[in-house]
Structure formats: C-alpha cells, structure tokens
C-alpha cells in the first residue's frame, strides 16, 4: 500500500457513519515522568480544533511524516529522542514529495466548505 492509500483508508467513514479522528498539526512537545520512567508527548491539533497531549510513539506510528516535519521546523533533529526523524529528513527531495502526498490526501478526503458551511461529500455524510 502506498502512503496516500493508507491515509485515504484511515479517513474513510465506517459503515455506521463514524468518522475516524485525524489531526491537522503538532503544536508542542514535552517529557512526562512517572517514577523512573519517562516518555515524550506531543500536543496535537485535531481536525475538530481540539488540542490534546498524546504519546509520541502513537502519533509517530500513525503519521511519521507530519512528526518529522515538526522535528525539522523546531530544529530537534540533533536531540536523542528525535534521531529517527533523520530517515525522513535527510533526503530533502523525497521528504518534500512525501509532504505533498500527505497534503493532497488530506485535500481529497478532508471536509469541503462553501459559504461557511460544510458541504457533504457522500450521501451518508449528507
């Protein structure tokens, strides 16, 4: 499966009309500690305009391109926790192509608005 097909599959509505959650962007990051264990969390802006803190490994598994884009924008590539992003960022041409694919997949399956109202894409959505 290509990355675009995977994004489209995740964005499809299920049979009972329930829309799977997708996020627009990553806003911030932090380290959480509980006892001796620690983990990274990222603040995510969802497509419903809600903001929540989610574990990095969950978001990274769902959409590594968006997380790598955040890492590059914040200059976190040299930090130990973010070294994995080098796989995506090191080849600029490939990284830009992947970013475009993500953007186009969201444009094709995302909500459409006209005159400030959401236009349904399917009869189920209507």
- Cβ atoms of residues 21 and 46 within 8 Å: yes
Residue 32 CA, distance from chain mean position: 21
- Cβ atoms of residues 68 and 85 within 8 Å: yes
| pLDDT attached to residue 10 | 65
* DSSP single-letter state for residue 1: -
In a domain, 7, yes or no: yes
In a domain, 97, yes or no: yes
In a domain, 25, yes or no: yes
Q: How many domains does the chain have?
A: 1
In a domain, 107, yes or no: yes
| pLDDT attached to residue 5 | 72
| pLDDT attached to residue 101 | 78
Give the number of other Cβ atoms within 10 Å of residue 99's Cβ.
16
In a domain, 30, yes or no: yes
In a domain, 90, yes or no: yes
In order along its 126 residues, the chain shows pLDDT tens digits of 677 776 666 666 554 555 556 778 889 988 888 888 878 899 998 877 888 898 888 888 877 878 888 888 888 888 888 888 887 777 777 777 877 777 777 667 666 677 777 777 777 777
In a domain, 125, yes or no: no
- Residue 95 β-bridge partners: none
| pLDDT attached to residue 11 | 64
- Cβ atoms of residues 43 and 27 within 8 Å: yes
In a domain, 106, yes or no: yes
| pLDDT attached to residue 20 | 58
**Domain boundaries, position 40:** 3-119
């Amino acid at each position: 499966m290509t990355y675009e097909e995977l994004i489209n599959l995740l964005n499809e509505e299920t049979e009972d009309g329930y829309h799977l959650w997708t996020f627009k962007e990553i806003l911030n990051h932090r380290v959480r500690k509980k006892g001796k264990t620690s983990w990274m969390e990222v603040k995510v802006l969802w497509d419903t305009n809600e903001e929540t803190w989610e574990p990095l490994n969950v978001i990274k598994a769902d959409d590594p391109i968006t997380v790598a884009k955040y890492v590059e924008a914040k200059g976190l590539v040299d930090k130990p926790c973010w070294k994995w992003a080098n796989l995506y960022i090191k080849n600029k041409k490939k990284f830009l192509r992947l970013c475009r694919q993500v953007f186009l997949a969201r444009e094709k399956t995302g909500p459409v608005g006209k005159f400030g109202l959401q236009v349904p894409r399917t009869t189920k959505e209507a």
